[in-house]
Amino acid sequence: MLDPATKGAVDPTRYFENVTTDDDVPEQDPVCLYLETTNRCNLLCTTCPRTYEELEPPADMSWELFTSIVDQVPRLQRAVLHGVGEPMLVKHLPRMVRYLKDRGTYVLFNTNGTVLNEKNGRALIAAGLDELRVSFDAANAESYRAIRGKNYFNRILKNVRAFRVAHRFARNDRGIAGFRPRCRRDRRQGSALAAARVFQGERHRHGAPGSGTLRAALRRGGRLY
């Protein structure tokens, strides 16, 4: 159950730290949902099971199914809109984000960044998305193609830069908190793995890294520019 000290004040980014139970039967309503908005994807990554076997017919979550699930969780604090597929292939994804934001829910999802064009990016900004995670697991175009199966390396770099600019200059009261790059060395692939998380909402308490932060982090794994 929820810790009494934090009951009613759940941090949506750390919700799991506020839940303790010795019983298999939950005493409280759920505060976080993982919604697989689609099982479709436009890449065939070597690290993904859907590359090797079709587990189910390709499909997107319908608007009716989405709202019927969300409406069953009145205390929802956090919603994650990804599963095995690429969420940005879902046409009504911004509408889903807005529906959740109107309920006061913290919303995020992972994307491969391939269709994060200007139109789609602005729609997500306008919807109020809290956190966007771009999976980018290669330090150069050659490594990216080997892992992801397609040559979208430069496209994704361009898309992420454009999204950051669009978000910074969007005419609203939501400021970007910047990139939080994470890099590590994958011994099997022999390449640096990096993931950039783009935050919306109020400015992060630790400040906003400059545009060079992601660039410098990626450079440690290979020459990009």
Domains of the chain with bracketed CATH: 30-219 (3.20.20.70)
Q: Are strands 78-80 and 106-111 parallel, antiparallel or unpaired?
A: parallel
Token pair, residue 124, equals 């997500």
**Assign residue 98 a region: left if phi > 0, alpha if psi is -120 to 50, beta otherwise?**
alpha
**Over the stretch 147-180, which tens digit does the pLDDT of each residue have?**
999 999 999 999 999 998 888 877 544 544 444 4
Complete DSSP assignment for 133-193:
EEEE--SSHHHHHHHHSS--HHHHHHHHHHHHHHHHT-SSS----EE--EEEEETTTTEEE
| Confidence at residue 19, expressed as pLDDT on a 0 to 100 scale | 65
| Confidence at residue 14, expressed as pLDDT on a 0 to 100 scale | 74
**Over the stretch 110-141, which tens digit does the pLDDT of each residue have?**
999 999 999 999 999 999 999 999 998 899 99
Cα distances (angstroms) measured from residue 16 to each of 10, 25, 31, 103: 9, 16, 9, 20
| Confidence at residue 170, expressed as pLDDT on a 0 to 100 scale | 74
DSSP at 210 = -
**Over the stretch 19-40, which tens digit does the pLDDT of each residue have?**
666 677 777 788 999 999 999 9
| Confidence at residue 198, expressed as pLDDT on a 0 to 100 scale | 55
| Confidence at residue 199, expressed as pLDDT on a 0 to 100 scale | 55
State whether residue 19 is helix, strand or coil: strand
Kindly report the pTM of this predicted structure: 0.72
| Confidence at residue 8, expressed as pLDDT on a 0 to 100 scale | 58
